[in-house]
Amino acid sequence: MTYLLTICIIMPLLVLLCWHDCRRRVLPNPLTLALAVVALCWRFYQHGGKGVVDGVAGGLVCGLFLLVPFLMRGAGGGDVKMLFGAGVATGLRYCFAELLFVSLSGLALGLVMLLFGAVKSARLKHSLRCLFDWKYDRKAGAAALPPKEDESGRIPFGIAIAMGTVITLAYAYWLERAL
């Protein structure tokens, strides 16, 4: 039951973060930090100090998952902070399930956006050709790409983080009921 309550408590923040990410492609610091603080307070209320330590450990594992993409400028800092807050909410026990569900949600979101033309596929095609086509002129292909600041090439990953978090908490609830 506690996982369903966790969903209810963090859902307003997840909705606000998704809205900001869709509209502006920005995850504001006050909202991402509020997600982490609310999740930490909820974990403290439920389990005391052990819950806080477990939440911080889960948040660090989840946040470190996006560190390499962040350093390569493939993910934003807001994504890292939001995934940290989501990891705090799920805790260390379910952080790997969180990462799996967030990754699958991001894949599904990216595919749907590609299918409906909401995102341009030029960067994806260039990356795949760089990996698999040894005759491909990488310099000419990179020069023909749209600028990185172009919004049509970016997927709002905050939506995938929110979907993955809700799915993880529902999965945790289901597991606890089944066992």
Residue by residue, pLDDT tens for the chain (179 residues) are 588 888 889 999 999 999 999 888 889 999 999 999 999 999 999 889 999 999 999 999 999 998 888 888 778 889 999 999 999 999 999 999 999 999 999 999 989 998 988 877 887 788 788 888 888 888 888 888 877 666 666 789 999 999 999 999 999 999 988 87
Taking Cα atoms as reference points, which of 39, 67, 68, 38 lies closest to residue 55?
39
Q: What is the pLDDT of residue 122?
A: 81
Question: What pLDDT is stored for residue 25 in this prediction?
Answer: 85
What's the alpha-carbon Rg for the chain, to the nearest Å? 18
Q: How far is CA 134 from CA 8, 14, 131, 138, 143, in A?
A: 50, 43, 8, 9, 18
The whole-number pLDDT of residue 24 equals 86
Give dist(CA 21, CA 27) in Å, integer: 6
Helix, coil or strand: residue 153: helix
Cα separation, 13 vs 19, in Å, equals: 10
What phi-psi label fits residue 154: left (phi over 0), alpha (psi between -120 and 50 degrees) or beta? Answer: beta
